[in-house]
Amino acid sequence: MNTIKHFLFISLFLITSSSLFPEDRPYVILVSFDGFRWDYLNRDITPNLNSFAQNGIRALSFRPSFPSKTFPNHYSIVTGMYPENHGIISNSFYDPGNSVWYRMNDTVQTRDSKWYSGEPFWTTARKNGIITASFFWPGSEQQDSLRHPDYYKHYDHYKPYRDRVDTVISWLQLPVNKRPQFISVYFHDTDSYGHEYGPNSPEINESISRLDSIAGYLLDSINDMGFKDSVNVIFLSDHGMTETSPDKTINILDIIENDKCKIYDSGPVMRISPPEASLNEVYNTLKKSENHFTVYRKEELPSYYHYSAHELISQLIVVADIGWSLVKSSKRKGYEHRISKGNHGYEKDHTDMHGIFLAGGPAFKTNYQTGTLWNIDVYPLLSKIFSIEQSDSIDGKLERIEFILKERNN
């Protein structure tokens, strides 16, 4: 009798599990560890992530788009577009035509869909009847109901990390007709500590270990549900980090003395809009003074930057050498720019700006290592996993990344 009961219990469990996570219904959790540099995995302090990678996909590095900053790259990941095309050209930028700033800490502007071009993956998925969810992904809070996920959270920097994971798990436990198949979740830790203490500090190592523990908690929680083999998980980062110092600063106001120049941003990249009559003069002055930076006219910016098409990109773009910082300090105004111990935003091809890409689950090959992957290719990868038609306007290419997927039996 006990044998019969045991058999019935196991049969019921298998039937229930199959109905909860049917094989023809893919699930993907996209996890962002902001500022998690590619080589942080090589410090022998990430046992959970390294174990996960050994059983799935590990890329040598994950190349960001230019500028290698948080908001532009998170939106590139979910749209498959370069910032010049999706519109989020920096963490902050100015629209002179409407006299308004976009700033990542301004919730009114970050939720205004007018800034965002392209089609984020959650919109593509929703068009195809796929339920989506996001916990703090940049661009996920747009007020246009067609341009945010079905479930999403307003950003709270201090929301405990385990609470974020618990919410992701609770979403996976919803009834099938309400459960999201695509979930994105964001953690800021290594970015914050990388800026404050630098990428080679004891504090950043503690941060790396902290996020590795969170990765372990997420994976254990999925395993405890009994669905380890049913859910695909991708760990990635938007950019890396490099050491910076007050000794490596370039004060642009020591070079150009045109008070009518509009100077936007600081650190690795500056955008400068001189009066039209002074454009050549300002450009030539900067060009003659190039030392640890390079100045470009917008239309002459090398094509590999993919950073000249958008109308809000200024006429002049100044790019600092890796580790150097561009500042606009005016002694007349008593203003001094604070230089952090670590920064990002530099040229996308410098390896210090590269992040991580790890993936595992039923869609992915196992024990597979590859070279550098590009962040604009994640959107077509997701479209392939879900077998849906991707947006026509993307810059990403499926052929650069689809080899990490298992071959399907037709």
pLDDT one-digit tens code per residue, 4-47: 544 444 444 444 444 555 556 899 999 999 999 999 999 999 99
Q: Is the pTM of this model over 0.85?
A: yes
Q: Indicate the burial class of 129 (C-beta count within 10 angstroms; 0-12, 13-18, 19 or more).
A: exposed
CATH class of 25-243+349-404: alpha beta
pLDDT one-digit tens code per residue, 138-157: 999 999 988 999 999 999 99
Instruction: Kindly calculate the radius of gyration of the chain based on its CA atoms and give it in whole angstroms.
Output: 23
Mapped onto helix, strand or coil, the DSSP state of residue 391 is coil
Catalytic residue among 46, 70, 190, 242: 70
Catalytic residue check, 70: yes
- Taken in order 195, 196, 198, 204, is the CA torsion positive or negative? negative
**Taking the C-alpha atoms of 72, 74, 77 and 80 in order, what is their torsion angle to the nearest 10 degrees?**
-30
Q: Indicate the burial class of 213 (C-beta count within 10 angstroms; 0-12, 13-18, 19 or more).
A: middle
Q: Which fold has domain 249-339?
A: Gyrase A; domain 2 (3.30.1360)
Average pLDDT value over all residues in the chain: 92
Q: Indicate the burial class of 260 (C-beta count within 10 angstroms; 0-12, 13-18, 19 or more).
A: exposed
Fold agreement between 25-243+349-404 and 249-339? no
Find tokens 């990428």 and name the residue.
Answer: 199
Domain spans, the chain: 25-243+349-404, 249-339
Q: What is the pLDDT of residue 380?
A: 98
Cis peptide bond N-terminal to 120, omega within 30: no
Mapped onto helix, strand or coil, the DSSP state of residue 108 is helix
pLDDT one-digit tens code per residue, 265-320: 999 999 999 999 999 999 999 999 999 999 999 999 999 999 999 999 999 999 99
pLDDT one-digit tens code per residue, 381-404: 999 999 999 988 999 999 999 999
